[in-house]
Structure 1
Amino acid sequence: MRAAVLTRFGAPLTVREVPDPQAGGGEVVVEVLAACVPPYADEVFGGARRYPLEPPVIPGPGGVGRIVRVGPDATGLKACDLVWCDPTVRARDDALTPDIALQGWASRGEGGARLARHLHDGSFAELMRVPTENVHPLPASAGQDPARWSALGVYVIAYGGLLAGDLRAGETLLVSGATGNLGSSAVALALAMGAGRVVAPGRDRTVLDLLADRFGARVRPVPLTGDEAADQEAMRAAAEGQVDMVIDLLPPAAPASVTRTAAMTVREYGRVILMGGVGMLGGADLAFPYPWLMRNSVTVRGQWMYPRTANPGIVRLIGSGALDLAGERVRAFGLDQVNEAVAHAAADTGPFRRTVLVPRQG
């Protein structure tokens, strides 16, 4: 098969022939139809993000595909099934605190690194080997536009955070980082899940206007000024009542103060979910005030990625039309254009803009 290979950090990806993957017990081989290229892929491949990938490696976090072969222990999946391949791989020998790796992308700790060495290669290839439990059936309609459906990989991350915070119909959610790639997806997803109101703070007024125009009165945009007290008051005013839950999806370059300002709008007994990259590049600590947390009985939870059960949940939301992908702006690239795709993803980072690799495209 042909694949895009990262030979070393700082070098362009190289498209070349590599051996076809083989499915063992508990594994499936999938023909990759479409894989999203993350907007920060250039930072990963260039070494700026210091991801624990071990070159040479075929990168790529998940994708939409069609099953080619299944292992002997698969009971429901079969060849030719259309599926979503979840990159979040968990060790099978620890049910409570499993080691985790993102196949073809990242890992956590030494146990995660061992997983990543076993399932070394990702979706920037014509074929991919995937653990059976990471393969999830898609409706037949997804086969009409697999590139658009590959945006599922963005939405399922935000979905994991909203599940962790137990977002309920009618509640008011504040999305910290609402103008970003993940944050804008969280806005759309929260509305699909029945949020009564979504407060969307951000500095990019063009994106704030886009969110308001697309989703209507349930979205309350808040232009940020950098004045913590004024911004916090503006977010509370936009909620027109209590903020039940805050989800933070800010990128690593954002200062901790922006996260703290948004989080401290939450009501007594409210929930704060942290899923962004704040602090990964250094800087001041988040520093929530102890008395505020304790006296208001606020729950603060970190959430990395999502549980396995989030996958069929997000598939149902999209398949039912509750989460509509029609507004996604998709730019597809063939495998030979992979470096062009990486550059495009970095340059075209706005909400609902997806750069997608289609390995068998001409």
Structure 2
Amino acid sequence: MRAAVVRSFDHAPRYEEFPAPGPAEGRLPVEMVAAGLHPRVRSGASGTHYTSDGRLPLVPGVDGVGRLPDGHLVYFVADDEAPGTMAEQALVDPRRSVPLPDGADPVTIAAAVNPAMSSWVALRRRITFRAGQSVLVLGATGNAGRAAVQIARHLGAARIVAAGRDPRRLDLLPGLGATDVVSLAGDPDQDFARLGEAAADVDVVIDYTWGAPTERAVPAVLTRRADRSAPLAWIQIGSLAGPEITLPSAWLRAADLRFMGSGQGSVTARGIVAELPSLMAEITRGTVTADAVPVPLSQVEEAWTAPVEPGRRIVLTMAAG
């Protein structure tokens, strides 16, 4: 089969011949239709994701839409040990797949589910989120952060504070449900003072940044909180600004601050898959939007480094569509 193939962690995948996956017990063959080029896919292809085992060559891709032998389309999350989804063929574990809703566009599903899944699962599986609560999305200008704003609105958030660095993307967020936007692109002292004022009394933080922004955001928010004993769930999802923070122990005593993560391991695969039908239904309805850019699989090397406009996501497409 033809596939995107990574032979060096320092180079973009190339379109090459690669052995097709052989039969496997409990797995079904699919002809791939579409696979999204997500940040998670990029980190896996560079060997930097926390699940990477360093083995090469590899086919990237963690999810996608495929056509089963009976002709039905399914969205699925690939097994960790299986070849990736950026190929003409793949294997599906039926326990990690769901049929596409009627009227769903495969390319849109491939673009939207992965970024939207992070906050959807976090707010529905990691905590008990209630309508009327308030949310801070830290790192709201990426595709996942943009989806988090829409999902928080859909789940009934009373206030949604969106913070990020890209001014063009920040400008789009009030139209998607953000009640407050805070730019983090200027003087850090001033920016995080504004963030603390806007997000002082939120109930939940969806954190895609970690690193220095989180180190500054924690005291900025907590020092302005009217009631520090009110629970604050800080859900760590991404680490765009760095994998580590320095957290003075005093902050854990001075407020009811509850750090947790949401991702592979903190939520079971079964739990994640159980959330997919309802999420895909909302994507199909347009509650969660994605501006997909379809690119043929044969152009993967060029697509890997191509600039992408704010809010858009590259989706590699295959002939099976």
User: Normalising TM by the smaller chain, what interval?
Assistant: 0.7 to 0.9
1:260 and 2:261 correspond: no
Q: How far, CA to CA, are the matches of 2:285 and 2:272 in structure 1?
A: 14
Matches within 5 A, 1:3-18: 3-18=3-18
Shift of 1:314: 3.9
Shift of 1:326: 7.6
Of residues 52, 60, 76, the one that matches 1:85 is 76
Aligned to 1:96: none
Aligned to 2:67: 66
CA gap 1:332/1:203 in 2 versus in 1, 3 angstroms = same
Of 218-227 and 162-171, deviating more is 218-227
- CA distances 1:227-261 after superposition (whole Å, capped 9, x unpaired): 44x4444234435x721111111177x55524535
- Is the 1:245–1:271 contact (alpha carbons within 8 Å) kept by the matching residues of 2? yes
Q: How far, CA to CA, are the matches of 1:256 and 1:246 in structure 2?
A: 10
Q: How far, CA to CA, are the matches of 2:151 and 2:119 in structure 1?
A: 8
- CA distances 1:131-177 after superposition (whole Å, capped 9, x unpaired): 231112221322xx211111211111222222313322111000111
Q: Secondary structure at the match of 1:330?
A: strand
Shift of 1:24: 2.6
- Is the 2:195–2:221 contact (alpha carbons within 8 Å) kept by the matching residues of 1? no
User: What amino acid sits opposite 2:180 in the alignment?
Assistant: R
Q: How far, CA to CA, are the matches of 1:348 and 1:227 in structure 2?
A: 27
User: What amino acid sits opposite 1:147 in the alignment?
Assistant: V
- CA distances 1:71-93 after superposition (whole Å, capped 9, x unpaired): xxxxxxxx323211113x4xxxx
- Is the 2:120–2:279 contact (alpha carbons within 8 Å) kept by the matching residues of 1? no
User: What amino acid sits opposite 1:309 in the alignment?
Assistant: G
- CA distances 1:311-344 after superposition (whole Å, capped 9, x unpaired): 3424323414686268422111111111122112
Q: How far, CA to CA, are the matches of 1:298 and 1:31 in structure 2?
A: 46
Bigger RCO of structures 1 and 2 (CA < 8 A, at least 6 apart) = 2
CA gap 1:61/1:41 in 2 versus in 1, 3 angstroms = closer
Shift of 1:198: 0.7
Q: How far, CA to CA, are the matches of 1:329 and 1:194 in structure 2?
A: 24
- Is the 1:3–1:126 contact (alpha carbons within 8 Å) kept by the matching residues of 2? yes
TM-score by length of structure 2 reads: 0.83
Aligned to 1:57: 58
Shift of 1:278: 5.9
Q: How far, CA to CA, are the matches of 2:283 and 2:13 in structure 1?
A: 36
Of 314-323 and 197-206, deviating more is 314-323
User: What amino acid sits opposite 1:358 in the alignment?
Assistant: T
Q: Secondary structure at the match of 2:256?
A: coil
CA gap 1:140/1:132 in 2 versus in 1, 3 angstroms = same
Aligned to 1:38: 38
Q: How far, CA to CA, are the matches of 1:323 and 1:174 in structure 2?
A: 25
RMSD value, Cα: 3.0
CA gap 1:160/1:53 in 2 versus in 1, 3 angstroms = farther
1:244 and 2:203 correspond: yes
1:159 and 2:127 correspond: no
User: What amino acid sits opposite 1:28 in the alignment?
Assistant: L
Q: Secondary structure at the match of 1:57?
A: coil
Q: How many residues align?
A: 310
Shift of 1:309: 2.6
State the 4+ residue runs in structure 1 displaced beyond 6 angstroms.
none
Q: Secondary structure at the match of 1:189?
A: helix
Of residues 176, 191, 194, the one that matches 1:215 is 176
Q: Percent identity?
A: 31
Which segments of 5 or more consecutive residues in structure 2 lack a partner in the other structure? none
Matches within 5 A, 1:130-149: 130-142=92-104, 145-149=105-109
Matches within 5 A, 1:280-299: 280=242, 285-287=245-247, 289-299=248-258
User: What amino acid sits opposite 1:271 in the alignment?
Assistant: A
TM-score by length of structure 1 reads: 0.75
- CA distances 1:102-121 after superposition (whole Å, capped 9, x unpaired): x3xxxxxxxxxxxx3xx2x1
Which segments of 5 or more consecutive residues in structure 1 lack a partner in the other structure? 69-78, 90-102, 104-115
Shift of 1:360: 1.6
Q: How far, CA to CA, are the matches of 2:243 and 2:255 in structure 1?
A: 30
User: What amino acid sits opposite 1:22 in the alignment?
Assistant: G
- Is the 2:235–2:261 contact (alpha carbons within 8 Å) kept by the matching residues of 1? yes
- Is the 2:31–2:68 contact (alpha carbons within 8 Å) kept by the matching residues of 1? yes
User: What amino acid sits opposite 1:65 in the alignment?
Assistant: G
